[in-house]
Each structure stands twice: as structure tokens, then as C-alpha cells.
Amino acid sequence: MTRIATRPCPLRAAEMLRQSGVHPVLARLYAARGLSDPQELSSELAAMTPPSGLLHIDAAAVFLADAIARAARMVIVADYDCDGATACAVALRGLRAMGANLDFIVPNRFEYGYGLTPEIVALTAEQKQPDIIITVDNGIASISGVAEANRRGIAVVVTDHHLPGDELPAASVIVNPNQPGCGFPSKHLAGVGVVFYVLLALRAELRRRGVFDAQSQPKLDHLLDLVALGTVADVVRLDSNNRILVAQGLKRMRAGRMHAGVAALFRVAGRNPRSATPFDLGFALGPRLNAAGRLEDMSLGIECLITDDEGRAWELAQQLNDINLQRREIEATMQDAALLHLDSFEPAQSSTICVFDPDWHQGVIGIVASRLKEKFFRPTITFAPGADGWIKGSGRSIPGFHLRDALDLVSKKAPTLIDKFGGHAMAAGLTLRADAFDAFAAAFEEVGRSWLTSQQLERVIETDGPLEDAYFSTDFIALMDGQVWGQGFAPPLFCDEFRVVSQRILKERHLKLLLEKNGARYDAIWFGHTESLGQRAKVAFRLDANEYNGVTKVQLLVEHAEAA
């Protein structure tokens, strides 16, 4: 079941924003998203939450400054997604600019597992002989890996943003806004955001030591295109602090001041960086980097982000594009198989979905879980075979169901079921014995039934209500595109009643519509939907500027429609 609802909008907050000079429609949109203070709309770096509030960040700065002073050998161990790749690139560029002796390693996820495992520590020790390992976008759950590093005399600095378990690793320093006792207000920093903050603190420490002054210090704002890309691609909540990081990164991209790899990814995706939006980062650039970690080796993606050679960046971007095309083919095959598995699935009878297929690729199961979650609106975990009788699962959730906490509850109720797990509220991963799949699916469903109400299992499309006729314009679309929208700060979605003038099916997959309201007619398209509408429809839509034959017209992108 899907229903359309209107977001509540505190009129007083909207009026205060409007009086402070905010466009009247934007004032309404911001107020509906919880903003009341115009200062929260600032996208200037000076408005960022200062680093000092991050627990242990000063200790990390001192530790790294000491390491640089003695020319200690440091190795970054990165995660294999877009956040991990950008965090690694930011750390490499930033630390090297400050004089660090630094290398990186991204082990094969299928061979060595997630996070800083003992096997990855052994490999890093053998290949790189480091004095210090720095984790980016991982490490908070790496109890045994950090213990192994300590045993070998290798110090570990953990920089991460994932939720910690009951025990923290015995690292030299941990910087993570979500660790116990950390009062940092911006809890939703991505891994790349945490690394950027560590660099800010380290640079301040090196200034204190007289290594740099305000004129000679490295410029860290050069890294903001990478910070923005990782933040958006990791789908973290765009609170006011993250919006500043993303806005500043987009500003650099639009001005043409971006790294060669980022420019090459825009080019290979057929997107124009001069009009870069969070949508481009999340749906065009991010997936091309993620594909490398899913199917092959994320060091390809990292090399693309750290090279300053435009020719090499273009060559790597093309390789990443080819891998992404391959990923799409694999995903389509797996999705078809998943729907066959769920042929007799009755959403009304189930609160969760678990699917395993022995032919699936474990690098793509997360995307398939995401697609199934969108289709059925149920917390979903998809599994693929691992090694020696193990299976790996990747899960995606719906609002109100904390996936990592659900796995934690399953593991407490049935301690033998799950080998290991980790993640967030909305996404998590785990490992099981293949023969435990049915028992796990039953235990997971039991948690779903006890936690989720029938209302929570109903998809609600939250809209911003009607839009005044005057704003169905390309100028207003440009104004909205200039803002930073994303996870936790939803892009505007309007809703109104229209007369359906005409409708036809395009390419057997999409519904093309001509809609009329107050005498004005609008082209509209509902992607992935072919069922026709009646003569009048209530339509939830986004505004889009559609260019055709050199003419730009307003088009409505339909999110959902129902009979009026």
C-alpha cells in the first residue's frame, strides 16, 4: 500500500525564514524540514561545527604530528565503497601535503572481509611494513584486527563513522562522532567527513608547532570536491554541517576547480559539472566508483581520485564506467532471480524479506536488497555464497526499523546464528553458515513482527503540498537546484490534482502524460510505470527542466499518482 501525505509545515518558522529574506516557497520547504534559524542555511565554511568537539581529535592530531616529525611509515586501510575511496584519497592528499610518509591498501573484500581484519593486518605488515595503520571509513568494529596490529607492534589510528558495538578496539586513537562520550553535534559525518576533520585538527597542531604558518599551510578546501562526493554517495543525513561540506564541494565543481578524477567521472557519466547537483554525485559518479569495489578492486577508484594526470584519470574513469556497465548486467539478472524467489511472497503476511541464491555475486547483493526494499517496502536482506559453507548478507531497511540493532537482537536471542555483523540503521551486513539461513530468516522475521506496526509497513510518500502556478518555471527550478537536498533533507516533492489530457506508454516501460491545471498544460512522465490513470489524478511530482531541440520546458517527474 502506498499513500500520499503532506509534510507538516510550522507556519511561524516559515514566516520567520521568509522575513529574513528567504524565497517564500523555499521558506516553506525549509520549515517543513525542521529548519527555523536562518543561520542553519549558511553554506560558508566558517559556519561549520569546529573540530574541537570531536572526541580524541586533538590526541589524533598530536599523534599524527609526532609520526610525521619522526618520518614514521603510515598505511591507510580503506573501505571499498565510494565513501572509503574518497576518504582514502582525502587522507592521502592531505597527509602527504603535511609531510607524511604514507601509502594505502584496499584488500579484496571477498578474500579478506570487511574492516581491519587480522588477515588484512598480516597482509599490510608483509607488503608495506608500516609503523602505523590509519583506518578510514572502517575500524570501529575491528577488535581482533587492532589486537593483531598491536601484537605486531603496529599502532592503529581509527577514523570511522559507523556505530560501535559493546566493545571498542584497543587502538592508539579513535575518532568517530558516534563513539560513546563524543558530544560532537554532527553525528552524521561520513567517513570522508571524519578524515577531513582530522586533517583540519592536524594542520592546526602543525601550525602550533611552527611547521606552517597561515600563509604556508596546505589548502584543505581543495579537498572539498572529494568530501562532497563521498558524503552524498554514502547517503548519510544531510544535517546543516554536511550540507556545508556538500555545498562547498559543489561550488568548486561548478567553478571547474575539481580534481582530475572527479572531472573525468563527470565526463564519462555524460554530466556537466558546471551545473553539478547532489543527484549527479549520488546517481552518476558514486555508482561508477562503487562498482570497482563491488566487482573488482577499489584501488582503481582511489587511483582515479589521487592522480593529477588528466589522461590517466580519463583512462581510469573509462575502466570504472565499463565495470559499472557490467555491474548493471549482473544486477538485472540477480533482480529477475530475486523476483522469481519471491513469486509467492505475500507482503501482507510478512514484515521482512530474506533471500539467498547460490549463483549470486556478493558484491551486488546490497543493490538487489535496496531494489527489493523499494518494491515491497520491507526490511530486506539478500545473501550470496562466501567461502567454505559461509554466506554473506547485505541488508537495507525502511524508516523506523534499525537494521543493525535488529541483527544485534537476533544475535543475542540466538548466539550461534550470526558469525559477525555491522552497519547502520538503514544498511547492514552479516555472515552466516549456509545451513543457518532458514533459522536466521525466521528469527529476523520474528524481530520484524514485534517491532513493526501495520502503519510502518505502509509506504507514505511525503509531499510539500500544492505549488503555486507562478512557480512552474525554469527560473524556480534553477533556484531549487542551487540548494543542497538529499538524505534527511528531502528534495522538494509537490502534490496537486490535475486533469489527465492524454497518456501513452513509452518504450513499453514508462507512462507519458499531458496534465492540466488551471488552464495550463504540463508534460509529465512516470518512469517504470505503465498502468493508465483515470481522467483526474492526484499527482506527487518533482519539477524538472527538460531540454529538447534547444528549447527548455518544465516537465513533471511523477513519483506517485492515484485517482482523484
Per-residue pLDDT of 504-535, as tens digits, reads: 999 999 999 999 999 999 999 999 999 999 99
Q: Quick check: is 124 in a domain?
A: yes
Give residue 260's pLDDT.
Answer: 98
Does 305 map to a domain?
no
pLDDT at 296: 85
Give the residue from 459, 491, 521 where a domain finishes: 459
- Give pLDDT, residue 317: 98
The whole domain housing 151 covers 47-257
CATH label of the domain that carries residue 383: 3.10.310.30
7, part of any domain: no
Reply yes or no on whether the pLDDT at 108 is more than 90.
no
pLDDT in tens, 545-560: 998 888 999 999 999 9
Note the pLDDT of residue 114: 79
Query: Torsions phi, psi of 92, nearest 5?
Result: -60, -50
Q: Per DSSP, which regions of 309-366 are E strands?
A: 353-356
Q: Are strands 494-506 and 510-517 parallel, antiparallel or unpaired?
A: antiparallel
Residues 556, 428 share a domain: no
pLDDT above 90 for 112: no
- Same domain, residue pair 347 and 382: yes
Same domain for 235 and 352? no
Angle at 552 between CA 551 and CA 557, to 5 degrees: 135
- Mean pLDDT computed over 288-307: 94
Q: Is the pLDDT of residue 110 over 80?
A: no
Mean pLDDT of 290-308: 94
Of all residues in the chain, the percent with pLDDT exceeding 90 is 92
Question: Looking at the structure, do residues 478 and 434 belong to the same domain, yes or no?
Answer: no
Which strand (E) or helix (H) includes residue 11? helix 11-19
Q: Is the pLDDT of residue 181 over 80?
A: yes
- CATH number assigned to the domain comprising residue 54: 3.90.1640.30
pLDDT digits (tens, 9 = 90+) for 221-256: 999 999 999 999 999 999 999 999 999 999 999 999
Contact of 28 with 491, CB cutoff 8 Å: no
Residue 73 pLDDT: 98
Residues 468 and 414 placed together within one structural domain of the fold: no
Residues 471 and 521 in one domain: yes
Boundary residue ending a domain (409, 427, 459): 459
**Rounded to an integer, what distance in angstroms lies between the CA atom of residue 324 and that of residue 383?**
21
How many domains does one find in the chain? Answer: 3
Q: 477 and 434 in one domain?
A: no
Q: Report the SS3 class of residue 63.
A: helix
Residue 154 within any structural domain of the chain = yes
Residue type, 227: V
Q: Place 378 in a pLDDT band, splitting at 50, 70 and 90.
A: very high
Residue 258: pLDDT over 80: yes
Question: Average pLDDT, whole number, for the chain?
Answer: 96
Locate 548 and state its grid cell.
529538447
Rounded to an integer, what is the distance from CA 39 to the centroid of its chain?
25
Indicate if 249 and 218 belong to the same structural domain. yes
Q: Which residue matches cell numbers 542555511?
A: 41
In-domain check, residue 517: yes
In this structure, the answer to whether residues 353 and 432 fall within a common structural domain is yes
Query: Both 449 and 476 in a single domain?
Result: no
- pLDDT (average), residues 113-118: 88
Residue 102 covered by a domain: yes
**Backbone phi, then psi, for 520, in 5-degree steps?**
-100, 140
Q: What is the pLDDT of residue 179?
A: 97
Last residue of a domain, one of 459, 476, 510: 459
Residue 109 pLDDT > 80: no
pLDDT in tens, 453-494: 999 999 999 999 999 999 999 999 999 999 999 999 999 999
Residue type, 351: S
* pLDDT band at residue 348 using 50, 70 and 90 as cut-offs: confident
Report yes or no: 397 and 351 within 8 Å, Cβ to Cβ.
Answer: no
- Same domain? For 363 and 427 the reply is yes
Q: What is the CATH number of the domain that holds 469?
A: 2.40.50.460
Does residue 430 contact residue 444 with C-beta atoms inside 8 Å? Answer: no
Question: Considering the domain boundaries, does residue 132 fall inside one?
Answer: yes
All 3 cell numbers of residue 232? 552524498
Q: Please state, in angstroms and rounded to a whole number, the distance separating the CA atoms of residues 527 and 190.
A: 31
- Rounded Cα gap, residues 265 and 82, in angstroms: 13
pLDDT in tens, 532-548: 999 999 999 999 999 88
Give CA–CA dist 84/105, Å, rounded.
Answer: 11
* Within-domain flag for 360: yes
- Angle at which helix 143-151 crosses helix 118-128, to 10 degrees, equals 40
Same-domain check for residues 543 and 430? no
**Residue 104: left (phi > 0), alpha (psi -120 to 50), or beta?**
beta
pLDDT for position 379: 98
Q: What pLDDT shows up at residue 347?
A: 86
Q: Give the pLDDT of residue 538.
A: 97
